[in-house]
Amino acid sequence: MAIPSYQEILLPLLDFTKDGKDHSMQEAEEYIAGYFKLSEAERKELIPSGRSFLISNRVGWSRTYLKKAGLIDLPKRSYIKITSRGLSVLQENPSYIDVEYLRKFPEFLEFIGANPVNNIISAPHEKTNLQTPEEILDASYQHLRKNLAQEILEKIKKLSPHFFEQLVVDLLLAMGYGGSRVDAGRAIGKSGDGGIDGIIDEDKLGLDVIYLQAKRWESVVGSKEIRNFVGSLVGKKANKGVFITTSRYTKDAIDYTAGVHHKVILIDGEKLVELMIDHNVGVAKDRSYEIKKIDYDYFEE
């Protein structure tokens, strides 16, 4: 079945604590995963940022909402325990607990009012909202990043081959290759020797070199182009090469690269712009948000 939303987890999580004992969050997650009959793959599904498991994230936010409503307490780090209010709620035998239900508690209303993101996800009649605040932030970030990547790639394709060569220089330098900019600038787009567009130092000391192909292409790169590139590496008695293009590679090209003795890295347009974003090439920081969480170690007595 589908992974339950954090709201769908609220009631079974509260019911799990009805014995009045302290329960670890690990126990709670195992219980919820079993309660909803999640498969092994579903248990390992990640949130958009990849920082945590989706089910763990949703159980964690369900814990937070129950705590803010005063239905459970946190007796110690990573443990939960039902409160007298929580027991009273269970005695009412509710069929469902969601954000609207929790609004009856003043502490929860205060919590919602102080958090604009919570207002977004708890709008009236959204009883089956699937995303936690963290998921909303992560998904929004990924959406913005995807749009940025598409915009960058479209821009690159409209510029000259010479600009693309300089872009490759800037990216490789930002990634720690090439030594100085002068050295890297001489390396790219200058040799045109036997299918090699450039040679750049793998490290700042120049202990090893990488041979390059940098092609601003619209057409798909096939196995023929990769074979020619590998042949050029053989002619140079080189073991490492990087083929960079603004387009993409055929399956045959990818399979061929995987089967050769030489270490050849294929960077397509999508990967290229991802690297540019990661290494701040051609992008400027607009704003940043620092997400913090409580340091439980600080509060240990």
Per-residue pLDDT of the chain (301 residues; tens, 9 = 90+): 689 999 999 999 999 999 999 999 999 999 999 999 999 999 999 887 777 899 999 999 999 999 999 999 999 888 999 999 999 999 999 999 999 999 999 999 888 774 444 544 444 334 336 678 888 888 888 878 888 999 999 899 988 888 888 888 889 888 888 766 666 655 565 545 555 677 887 776 667 788 888 888 888 999 999 999 998 888 888 888 999 999 999 999 999 998 888 899 999 999 999 999 999 999 998 878 788 877 877 777 6
Say which residue the tokens 């990818």 belong to: 254
Domain membership of residue 206 as a residue range: 159-267
**pLDDT for residue 125:** 37
Report the distance separating Cα 273 and Cα 248, nearest Å: 12
Same domain, 132 and 58: yes
110 and 234 share one domain: no
Residues 68 and 11 in one domain: yes
Tell me the pLDDT tens digit for each residue of 26-41.
999 999 999 999 999 9
Q: Which of 142, 169, 186 is the last residue of a domain?
A: 142
Q: What angle do CA 194, 195, 198 make, to 5 degrees?
A: 100
Inter-helix orientation angle 6-16/25-35, to 10°? 110
Cβ-contact 280, 151 below 8 angstroms = no
Query: Same structural domain for residues 10 and 126?
Result: yes
Residues 23 and 118 in one domain: yes
Q: Is residue 150 part of a domain?
A: no
Please give the torsion angle defined by the CA atoms of residues 275, 278, 281 and 283, in that order, rounded to the nearest 10 degrees.
Answer: 120
